[in-house]
Amino acid sequence: MKGSDVSGKVINKADIKKSANIAIGEDATANMGAVTMKNSKVSGKIVNKADVKKSANIAIGKDSKANMGSVTAE
């Protein structure tokens, strides 16, 4: 959600098992079971409930990001 105006709740419920989330290369991004908000305004609650088991989350490279079962607000 980029440049959003959210009134209420942002809810992320991730159930991730036996998975790989990989970002490789410069400025690469990988999201799994994740909510990413950039330049957004939230009036209310942000709720994150993640159940991650036997999984890998890997970012390789300059300014690379890998998000798993997360909420990222910039």
Under DSSP, the state recorded for 2 is B
> Residue 39, Cβ neighbours under 10 Å: how many?
10
Under DSSP, the state recorded for 69 is S
Are the beta carbons of 8 and 40 closer than 8 angstroms?
no
pTM: 0.78
Instruction: Check residue 28 and give its pLDDT.
Output: 98
Residue 6: pLDDT band (50, 70, 90) is confident
Distance CA 48, CA 67 (A): 13
pLDDT tens for each residue of 15-51: 999 999 999 999 999 999 999 888 988 899 999 999 9
Instruction: Check residue 2 and give its pLDDT.
Output: 78
Largest CA distance in the chain: 36
